[in-house]
């Protein structure tokens, strides 16, 4: 494995959503990630059967029954020589299973133990179930995402699950590894999606604190309130985006739209934004998306077509940078960011549960007799 985290070993308890995404990022950056999948998920499926599981790329899989004491012992032995442990259960679950921080960090004081939850390890809601939309709601941003006089709009599950969750886990792990290089000690990370969403909302807090953020949805310059920062439908029922915030870009946009600034209100006259939006709506509806691309793509007006996922990988810019890559017929985002000296590579395809069980056990010092005994006891699969 290449990448800046080459040589770092991660043990991840298999799960859904943000924790696997965070582990995927670590694997993208070169870490050797071993995912502990449930034993009952192992069915001997061929490697090709898992190729659509983008989350699973870059990992090896061992199938373990964590309700079996022998299975718990396997995980403990894996983490004895690991650098990082990642789990995404509700608070207290790993303690009950026997793989909590006290169980593992006492055996390996250098271990970075990363815990991913929605609400955090403590607080009134810590034990409650939740999803991206709930964390986004409680932290504040969802109330401000949406158009004027309309209900709040969930922005897929990108913000809490993956931005405030998985990505925060990855940066937290990297920071803990840097600190460990000087202290020699690992530590436990409490990664909560509600905290991550609040952190991502720093620009809103900044604007709110300085008194230029309106609480009503769709009335600010970045939330579709302003005519110069919005999406517009084209004549062929497609969409384009405009983000001409700065005066020079707005001036360039007006020139491209053949509008005379002398005949228009000031760019930031908020009372005139609705009328200007109607005017822009009519103008953009007069041409197709490809017409607007031809007219605006090479001008400094902060323009881009609104591309569906099926189309985005083939856009000339994305294609030139290989922003998306094809791995065994599955189009997926390439690792990011890009490192000049230690580039990341995708050289380990997703694997079905338990595909590397014997390989991993052998690597960690279990002999053939022990492996067979673990299998017969139902500890591994």
Q: Is residue 19 within 8 Å of 87, Cβ to Cβ?
A: yes
Residue 333 scores a pLDDT above 70: yes
Which entry of 161, 195, 223, 230 is annotated as an active-site residue?
Answer: 161
**At CA 329, angle to CA 305 and CA 359, rounded to 5?**
130
Instruction: Dump pLDDT digits (tens) for 193-240.
Output: 999 999 999 999 999 899 989 999 999 999 999 999 999 999 999 999
Mean pLDDT of 321-347: 93
Residue indicated by tokens 């999803």: 131
Residue 175 scores a pLDDT above 70: yes
Give residue 48's pLDDT: 87
**Residues comprising the chain, all counted:** 381
> What is d(CA 361, CA 265) in angstroms, rounded to the nearest whole number?
71
> What residue segments make up the domains of the chain, in order of their start?
9-200+324-376, 229-233+239-305
> What is d(CA 64, CA 10) in angstroms, rounded to the nearest whole number?
16
Which entry of 73, 80, 103, 131 is annotated as an active-site residue?
Answer: 131
Instruction: Dump pLDDT digits (tens) for 263-276.
Output: 999 999 999 999 99
Q: Is the peptide bond before 337 cis (omega within 30 degrees of 0)?
A: yes
Instruction: Dump pLDDT digits (tens) for 97-129.
Output: 999 999 999 999 999 999 999 999 999 999 999
pTM listed for this prediction: 0.95
Reported as a pLDDT band with limits 50, 70 and 90, residue 93 is very high
**At CA 70, angle to CA 68 and CA 72, rounded to 5?**
70
Residue 289 scores a pLDDT above 90: yes
How many CB atoms are located within 10 Å of the residue 369 CB? 8
Instruction: Look up residue 358 and give its two tokens.
Output: 């014997």
For 92, the 3-state DSSP assignment is: coil
Mean pLDDT of 76-87: 98
Average pLDDT, the chain: 96
**What is the radius of gyration, based on Cα positions, of the chain?**
25
Residues whose CB is less than 8 angstroms from the CB of residue 101 and which lie 6 or more positions away in sequence, other chains included: 94, 95, 113, 115, 188
Q: Is residue 82 within 8 Å of 12, Cβ to Cβ?
A: no
CATH topology of domain 9-200+324-376: Rossmann fold (3.40.50)
> What is d(CA 208, CA 62) in angstroms, rounded to the nearest whole number?
48
Give residue 1's pLDDT: 58
* Composition of the chain by helix, strand, coil, percent to 5: 40, 15, 45
For residue 231, give the H/E element and its range: strand 229-233
Mean pLDDT of 61-73: 98
> What is d(CA 167, CA 160) in angstroms, rounded to the nearest whole number?
10
Active site residue 161: yes
> What is d(CA 60, CA 78) in angstroms, rounded to the nearest whole number?
13
**Which numeric CATH code is attached to 229-233+239-305?**
3.30.1540.10
């Amino acid at each position: 494995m290449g990448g800046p985290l080459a040589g770092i070993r991660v043990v991840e308890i298999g799960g859904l959503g943000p924790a696997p995404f965070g582990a995927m990022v670590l694997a993208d950056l070169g870490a050797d990630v071993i995912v502990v999948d449930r034993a009952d998920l192992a069915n001997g499926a061929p490697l090709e059967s898992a190729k659509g599981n983008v989350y699973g790329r870059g990992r090896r899989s061992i199938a373990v029954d964590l309700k079996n004491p022998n299975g718990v012992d396997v995980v403990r032995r894996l983490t004895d020589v690991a650098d990082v442990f990642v789990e995404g259960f509700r608070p207290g679950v790993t303690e009950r299973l026997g793989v909590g921080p006290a169980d593992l960090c006492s055996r390996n004081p250098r271990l970075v133990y990363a815990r991913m939850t929605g609400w955090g390890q403590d607080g009134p809601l810590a034990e409650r179930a939740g999803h991206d939309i709930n964390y986004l709601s409680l932290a504040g941003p969802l109330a401000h995402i949406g158009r004027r006089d309309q209900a709040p709009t969930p922005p897929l599950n990108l913000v809490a699950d993956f931005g405030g969750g998985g990505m925060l886990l990855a940066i937290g792990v990297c920071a803990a590894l840097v600190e460990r290089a000087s202290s020699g000690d690992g530590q436990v990370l409490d990664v909560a999606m509600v905290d991550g969403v609040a952190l991502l909302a720093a620009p809103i807090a900044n604007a709110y604190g300085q008194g230029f953020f309106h609480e009503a949805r769709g009335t600010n310059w970045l939330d579709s309130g302003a005519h110069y920062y919005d999406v517009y439908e084209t004549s062929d029922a497609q969409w384009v985006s405009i983000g001409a915030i700065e005066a020079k870009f707005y001036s360039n946009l007006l020139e491209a739209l053949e509008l005379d600034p002398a005949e228009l209100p000031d760019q930031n006259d908020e009372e005139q934004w609705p009328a200007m939006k109607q005017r822009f709506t009519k103008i953009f509806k007069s041409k197709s998306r490809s017409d607007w691309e031809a007219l605006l793509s090479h001008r400094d007006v902060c323009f881009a077509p609104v591309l569906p996922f099926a189309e985005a990988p083939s856009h000339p810019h994305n294609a030139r940078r290989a922003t998306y890559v094809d791995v065994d017929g599955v189009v997926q985002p390439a690792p990011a960011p890009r490192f000049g000296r230690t580039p990341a590579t995708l050289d380990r395809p997703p694997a079905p549960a338990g595909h590397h069980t014997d390989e991993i056990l052998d690597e960690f010092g279990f002999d053939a007799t022990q492996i067979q005994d673990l299998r017969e006891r139902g500890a591994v699969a």
